[in-house]
Amino acid sequence: MTPIDRDAFERAIAMARAKGPAQQRQIDEKLATDPWAKVGEFAAYGCQMDSLHLKLWQPPPCWINNPKAVLAVGDDGIMGNYAAARLLQKMLAADLSKYEPDPLNALFDAAAQRKRKDDHANPPH
């Protein structure tokens, strides 16, 4: 497991627990019986489903194992595999984990950090 994935799992577990007492209890029960990484994947799935407002049949980016292969097939319309693979490619290019619990905000933050770094490296004259 990479440090980036570990961080994403920690944040996903915390976000899932913060959704309410029932979710906190569910995560705590899973932590008591399942491997920590499995709970992290479960939490990341739920967080991505919520943060991306996905339909039940649409996969989150964390479910895509080979984005290049999915993209090669082409856009699948409302099924969502293509969209999830495109988002995952953007996430990976920004050095984010495929388990990032809030992908769009994380991509926005990564872009803002790059802009600040670029602005600092190239100040206006």
Give the model confidence (pLDDT) of 22-55 as tens digits.
Answer: 999 999 999 999 999 999 999 999 999 999 999 9
Sort 98 into a burial class: Cβ within 10 Å, 0-12 / 13-18 / 19+: buried
Read off the pTM: 0.88
pLDDT tens by residue, 2-24: 999 999 999 999 999 999 999 99
Q: Give the SS3 label for residue 111.
A: helix
The amino acid sitting at 76 is: D
pLDDT tens by residue, 51-80: 999 999 999 999 999 999 999 999 988 899
Contact 82, 70 (CB under 8 A): yes
Helices (H) and strands (E) in the chain, counts: 6, 0
